[in-house]
């Protein structure tokens, strides 16, 4: 049953925030991690959206793009500047979609909105990967730090967990005994003493214990430098966290995936399936038609100068796509 009390509160808050907007979402709300109300937008009548034609319908809790023919994007009612949008989506094979941000002209959104690409991987263009800002910036995701152990012909990736024994064989184990964010040393009475340095530095390191039978050896690992142990055929490498740009963020067809987009003034952030894949500072886009990394884009004005308020849409690209659990948190200052 819908909570009509929360509905009225949510509608009132949105009216105060959205000066000049025709209509705003009016479903039940709850409080998210930002401390603001989270508005769930999907209803059986898709009443929180505006769209032309018959290309969208409610199906089992989702907004479904159905049929063939003209393209009709799905627009959230109202206009927004700073917000968090969370969606779950499912694609048909070869389908393409996107989340349109801060659009100022629905009829010409291609030139007046930013698009967060939704795709199985990418469409083959320079900045057309899933999770990227179309034509402007590719996703940039993180490969987590881990301990890499080569033992014989096998290579294992071990998570950074302190004081946990990982078996390499019946007789051989490895264990991380100490982790440093900023490894420093000092000499005292002829001994080199390690310590955790200031928070302003970044020099990650691990101490790892390798036990083979009754023999135990402790090695220091830093900076992706391999260390071969004395105990058997074992090589250890501390693979530090790395940001890997320009990669695909695969979201296979026929499966449900999550995406979260946060727009706050000049900053745009994107998460795909819970992993942060993009951070974009619009203030770095100072030249019309060009991206700061040297690639061209379609925009006739510099992104830095584009309005930071407008419509939010879900793109219709002609093939079936489904959206459910679409949730909006408005961050605009009251």
pLDDT in tens, 122-176: 999 999 999 999 999 999 988 889 999 998 888 999 999 999 999 988 888 999 9
Mean pLDDT (whole number) for 66-72: 81
Lowest-confidence pick of 33-37, 88-92, 161-165, 250-254? 33-37
Q: How many CB atoms lie within 10 A of CB 233?
A: 11
Length of the chain, in residues? 334
Provide the token pair at 95: 């389908």
178-213 pLDDT, tens digit each: 999 899 999 999 999 999 998 778 899 999 999 988
CB 258 within 8 A of CB 88: yes
Q: Which domains does the chain have, with CATH numbers?
A: 38-141+246-330 (2.60.120.560), 145-240 (no CATH)
Can you spell out the DSSP letters for 256-289?
Answer: -EEEEEEEETTEEEEEETTEEEEEEEGGG--STT
pTM for this prediction: 0.73
pLDDT for position 6? 35
Element (H, E) at 13: helix 4-17
Element (H, E) at 236: strand 234-239
Q: How many CB atoms lie within 10 A of CB 249?
A: 24
- Cα–Cα dist 330/334, whole Å: 10
- Cα–Cα dist 106/71, whole Å: 12
Q: How many CB atoms lie within 10 A of CB 263?
A: 25
311, β-bridge pairs = 103
Q: Quick one: what percent of the chain has pLDDT higher than 90?
A: 72
CB 58 within 8 A of CB 43: yes
Place of tokens 């964010």: 181
Can you spell out the DSSP letters for 153-200?
Answer: TEEEEE---BT--EESSSSEEEEEEEEESBEEEEEETTEEEEEE--TT
- Cα–Cα dist 207/220, whole Å: 5
Place of tokens 């002829």: 190
- Count each helix (H run) and each strand (E run) in the chain, helices first: 2, 26
CB 273 within 8 A of CB 256: no
CA 58, 63, 64, 68 torsion-angle sign:
positive
pLDDT for position 144? 84
284-331 pLDDT, tens digit each: 999 999 999 999 999 999 999 999 999 999 999 999 999 999 999 999
85, β-bridge pairs = 261, 328
Indicate the SS3 state at residue 118. strand
User: Strands 140-143, 183-188: parallel, antiparallel or unpaired by DSSP?
Assistant: unpaired
Indicate the SS3 state at residue 109. helix
Indicate the SS3 state at residue 197. coil
């Amino acid at each position: 049953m819908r909570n009509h009390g929360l509905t009225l509160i949510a509608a009132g808050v949105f009216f105060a925030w959205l000066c000049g907007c025709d209509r705003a979402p009016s479903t039940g709300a709850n409080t998210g991690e930002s401390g603001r109300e989270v508005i769930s937008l999907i209803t059986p009548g898709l009443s929180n959206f505006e769209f032309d034609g018959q290309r969208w319908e409610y199906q089992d809790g989702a907004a479904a793009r159905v049929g063939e023919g003209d393209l009709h994007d799905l627009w959230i009612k109202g206009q927004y500047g700073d917000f968090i949008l969370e969606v779950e989506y499912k694609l048909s094979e070869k389908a393409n979609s996107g989340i349109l941000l801060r659009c100022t002209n629905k009829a010409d959104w291609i030139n007046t909105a930013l698009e967060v690409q939704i795709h199985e991987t990418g469409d083959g263009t320079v900045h057309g990967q899933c999770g990227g800002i179309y034509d402007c910036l590719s996703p940039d995701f993180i490969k987590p730090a881990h301990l890499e152990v080569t033992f014989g012909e096998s290579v294992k990736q071990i998570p950074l967990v302190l004081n946990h024994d990982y078996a390499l064989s019946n007789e051989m184990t490895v264990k991380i005994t100490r982790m440093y964010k900023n490894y420093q040393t000092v000499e005292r009475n002829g001994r080199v003493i390690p310590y955790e340095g200031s928070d302003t530095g970044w020099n990650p390191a691990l101490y790892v214990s390798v036990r083979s039978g009754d023999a135990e050896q402790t090695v220091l690992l830093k900076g992706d430098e391999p260390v071969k142990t004395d105990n058997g055929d074992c090589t250890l490498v501390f693979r530090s966290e790395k940001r890997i740009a320009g990669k695909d963020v695969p979201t296979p067809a026929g499966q449900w995936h999550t995406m979260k987009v946060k727009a706050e003034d000049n900053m745009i952030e994107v998460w795909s399936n819970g992993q942060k894949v993009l951070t974009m500072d619009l203030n770095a886009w100072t030249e019309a038609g060009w991206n700061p990394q040297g690639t061209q884009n379609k925009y006739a004005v510099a992104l830095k100068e584009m309005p930071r308020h407008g419509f939010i849409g879900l793109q219709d690209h002609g093939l079936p796509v489904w959206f459910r659990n679409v949730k909006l948190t408005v961050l605009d200052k009251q």
